Structure 1
Amino acid sequence: METGEQSPRRLADSVSLGVLARWVPRDEIDTAVAVTGKKAKRRDGKLPPHVMVYFTMAMALFADDDYEEVLARLTDALAAWPDCWDTLWEAPGSGGITQARQRLGSEPLRELFSRVAEPVADMLTPGAFLGTWRLVSIDGMEWDLPDSGENAAFFGYAGSGGKRSAFPKVRVVALAECASHAYFAAAIGGVGTGKGSGEQSLARTLWAALDEDMLLIADRNFYSFPDWRQARASGAQLLWRVKAGLRLPVLERLPDGSYLSVLVDPDIGGKRREALVEAARAGADLDPGQAALVRVVEYTVPDRDPGQDGELICLITTIVDLRDGPAATLAEIYHHRWEHETGNDQIKTHLRGPGRVLRSRKPDLVLAELYGYLLTHYALNALICEAATEAQIDPDRVKFTRTVRKVRSRTDDAADFPP
């Protein structure tokens, strides 16, 4: 094996659009298309469903190109394999491509993402685990959409009145593996004031994607007692920041400076609450619908809030045994949450481009376009993580921008494109 400086660079020099398809294989596409009832029909002609799935991913890679240019780049890779592209076909114009996108819709791409996206780091990937727990995080991001009436009605605008956003916006909340930045579950919704439009509401649809081998890191925006309870019911361990006003009675102080506490359903007050706190202090079993034992880690970041004593960070965790994670270790682990911000920057700045509005003027096509971005981002980071793991370096040391640039410049190399 070559050194950590050479091996990832060699992989980045060899990647192509075809290599990306290794992580989104044709057979999975065909299954997703079949499951969602979008099998090819006679009228699909030159652009059957599997071509349009790869086209939607290619749209994410070539955000500066128009539809016809994107399809021209894609056919160079597809034509090398039987049953992917018929060389007798003549690529349609932008109108025909739009019609093919509408026929495909968003459901096959959503199904495909749910089938192929999964954590990609292994135990040898630096920074991927705390003990046996895989580090994952949750966060949200917003995207600007074309200002069409349909997008505005479906997704809404951020803010109101004079502070209303210039464009309709769509919100994406995702679970991501910290080490690889790969999203493995996502929920998409509007930004209006309607039910289900907030980050917490979207997050609630993702708890089922957690697993007992995961440690979920979350910022204070995601905490509520019901959400904590539901996320914990997945079997995953939790490490969440909470707001300073949350009531956290001290049950027992631990040698590393952390302490045991109890979360109580905020709807329970008075003597019932006091009884639950005393039961927790006595080590009694707690009804998870009413209360939950937690460990609290508090520390101050001195460089924040200039002129003050610094910003107090309050973390709560299900890891109650300090031998599984001392306070200092958990404080350090919490800051892996910022890896999610790196992933958001990768997809919004380096794939889409800074300040760029998405292409699609209809809600269903917006959803399809977003899943194209999620699939392409996933495939790129899976490749990067694999290379970094082989070289035994942190995946952050393999430049995402360099990998994207290489993929964009080598779309004629279809050697690894699956049939």
Structure 2
Amino acid sequence: MGVVSRPDQVSLGVLVAAVPRFKVDEAVAVCGVEERRRGGKLPPHVTAYLTMALCLFAEDGTEEVAQKVTGSLSAFGVWDARWAPPTSSGITQARKRLGRDVLRETFYRVAEPIAQLATRGAWLRGRRLVAIDGFDVDVPDTAENAAEFGYAGNTQARSAFPKVRVVALTECGSQAFIDAEVGPWAHSEKAMAATLLPTLSSDWLLMADRCFYSFEAFSAAALTGAALCWRAPTQLRLPVLEVLSDGTYLSVLIDPQIRGQHRARLLAEAKSGAKPDPAAAHVVRIIEYDIPNRDSSELIVLITNIHDPADVTAAELAGSYQQRWEAEAPNGQLKMLPRGPGRVLRSRSPDLVHQEVWAYLLVQHAISALICQAASGADIDPDRVSVIKAARAALSRPSYSSTHYSQDLARSCGHDAAGT
């Protein structure tokens, strides 16, 4: 008859395939988290997978999740079948021993771009499309969480729950998170993004909204060699240096700290065609267009360091910026994973909140990898498949292995992706 996989085996198979044991062990070693009792049934790597399972089975209680997944963890070599499922208090204590950093370090080792050359919506003229954006997650209203993360709003009108702020780099083709920063609500998205920009690769095209623009941020991103396509803030002054054949024009970004004669000299040098010192100024290309079918006309102004229209056309860059809006989808989907829309995380202390957020980021990456593989095989855009639907399907197909589920999802994508 053959082996029959249970739903939890399918879903955990996805996790173990995307988050291999050796990478968890590397993170444990880097963080100095050692097993306190030799042979204990909740060593760090088991606790890490249980924490991810708590995210995958977000609607269920802690002990119920442990009952569901321990048999499957045994099949994947991270659980001893002789052990009894742990209690809720036992899991909480094990999570406290694991600490806030192990799953963050695991994410950094796992979260790589996953789009293939055949993945639709992933590339523009050989450049991998990525986007940066931020979102918030509600956490339980405890004194510790309030002190660590803070509330949105003010004392007169504040949010009902403390909020964690997350800023993430997303691969547009797969919609997978590939880098992230987690912090308190009071930290600005722009400040948190500053730690992510130096990690860009030279073969990427990064898109960002106007709230992320500053001369310092643009410079930091440009220094990596990556192509950039950022929306300009409305107050930014963009002098016209040269109008190009496609109606776009060259302009110059000058450090706002530079004023007077020095600024005038930099502008004159840019107009003459001289290449400015990147510490002081950047020659950029400006694309302007409006969006039809809106209540009021809205002018979109994009800044790019791709100067030549023959390299990438204005229409292509405008279309790619649309992909940035699509890349906001995983932010909303991740916010829906914790126990359904409008719910909060489980964790009642800051260390466990950090741990749980990174666990969700890992789960989202794992599911996105599965979707990307399936959608690429079906030759459709992965953004036509819902992360939420894929996660639920993985939990409800009792006779499917992880590989069979991916194949079935690919067939489903090809026939009824429009309904996902």
2:147 matched to 1:160? no
Residue number in structure 1 paired with 2:409: none
Quote how far apart the aligned CAs of 1:108 are: 1.0
2:110 matched to 1:116? yes
Residue number in structure 2 paired with 1:224: 214
Q: Secondary structure at the match of 1:41?
A: coil
Q: Matches of 2:14 and 2:169 in 1, distance apart?
A: 24
2:56 matched to 1:70? no
Q: 1:248 aligned to 238, 249, 269, which one?
A: 238
Residue number in structure 1 paired with 2:177: 183
Spell out the pairing of 1:98-137 with structure 2 (5 A cutoff).
98-137=92-131
Spell out the pairing of 1:378-397 with structure 2 (5 A cutoff).
378-397=365-384
Residue number in structure 2 paired with 1:55: 50
Normalised to the residue count of structure 2, the TM-score between the two structures is: 0.90
Residue number in structure 2 paired with 1:4: none
Q: Matches of 1:26 and 1:92 in 2, distance apart?
A: 20
Q: Find runs of 4+ consecutive structure 1 residues off by over 3 angstroms.
A: 410-416
2:204 matched to 1:214? yes
Output one character per residue of 1:204-251: Cα deviation in whole Å (capped at 9) or x when no partner.
010122100100000000000001001111221110001122110000
Residue number in structure 1 paired with 2:304: 317
Spell out the pairing of 1:185-204 with structure 2 (5 A cutoff).
185-192=179-186, 197-204=187-194
Quote how far apart the aligned CAs of 1:76 are: 2.5
- Does the aligned pair in 2 maintain the 1:137–1:178 contact within 8 Å? yes
Residue number in structure 1 paired with 2:408: none
2:193 counterpart letter in structure 1 = A
Quickly say closer, same or farther: Cα 1:256–1:183, change in 2 above 3 A: same
1:130 counterpart letter in structure 2 = L
2:396 matched to 1:406? no
Residue number in structure 1 paired with 2:165: 171
Normalised to the residue count of structure 1, the TM-score between the two structures is: 0.91
Q: Matches of 1:157 and 1:395 in 2, distance apart?
A: 35
Q: Matches of 1:365 and 1:120 in 2, distance apart?
A: 28
Output one character per residue of 1:31-81: Cα deviation in whole Å (capped at 9) or x when no partner.
111121113221782211111111111111111111101111111211224
Quote how far apart the aligned CAs of 1:15 are: 4.7
2:356 counterpart letter in structure 1 = E
Q: Matches of 1:389 and 1:146 in 2, distance apart?
A: 39
1:24 counterpart letter in structure 2 = V
Q: Which runs of 5+ in 2 are unaligned?
A: 1-6, 404-420
Output one character per residue of 1:91-111: Cα deviation in whole Å (capped at 9) or x when no partner.
221111100000001211011
Quickly say closer, same or farther: Cα 1:68–1:81, change in 2 above 3 A: same
Residue number in structure 2 paired with 1:38: 33
Q: Secondary structure at the match of 2:165?
A: strand
Q: Matches of 2:34 and 2:394 in 1, distance apart?
A: 29
- Does the aligned pair in 2 maintain the 1:80–1:414 contact within 8 Å? no
Q: How many residues align?
A: 396
Q: 2:141 aligned to 141, 147, 164, which one?
A: 147
Q: Secondary structure at the match of 1:324?
A: coil
Q: Secondary structure at the match of 1:385?
A: helix
Q: Which runs of 5+ in 1 are unaligned?
A: 1-11
1:30 counterpart letter in structure 2 = D
In percent, how many aligned pairs have the same letter?
Answer: 54
1:354 counterpart letter in structure 2 = P
Q: Matches of 1:269 and 1:407 in 2, distance apart?
A: 58
Q: Matches of 1:183 and 1:293 in 2, distance apart?
A: 30
Output one character per residue of 1:394-416: Cα deviation in whole Å (capped at 9) or x when no partner.
11233433321122235897778
Output one character per residue of 1:181-215: Cα deviation in whole Å (capped at 9) or x when no partner.
100100001012xxxx1101110010122100100
Q: Matches of 1:37 and 1:211 in 2, distance apart?
A: 30
Q: Matches of 2:116 and 2:245 in 1, distance apart?
A: 32
Quote how far apart the aligned CAs of 1:30 are: 1.1
Residue number in structure 1 paired with 2:363: 376
Q: Matches of 2:342 and 2:351 in 1, distance apart?
A: 22
1:144 counterpart letter in structure 2 = D
2:244 counterpart letter in structure 1 = L
- Does the aligned pair in 2 maintain the 1:155–1:190 contact within 8 Å? yes
Q: Matches of 2:15 and 2:25 in 1, distance apart?
A: 17
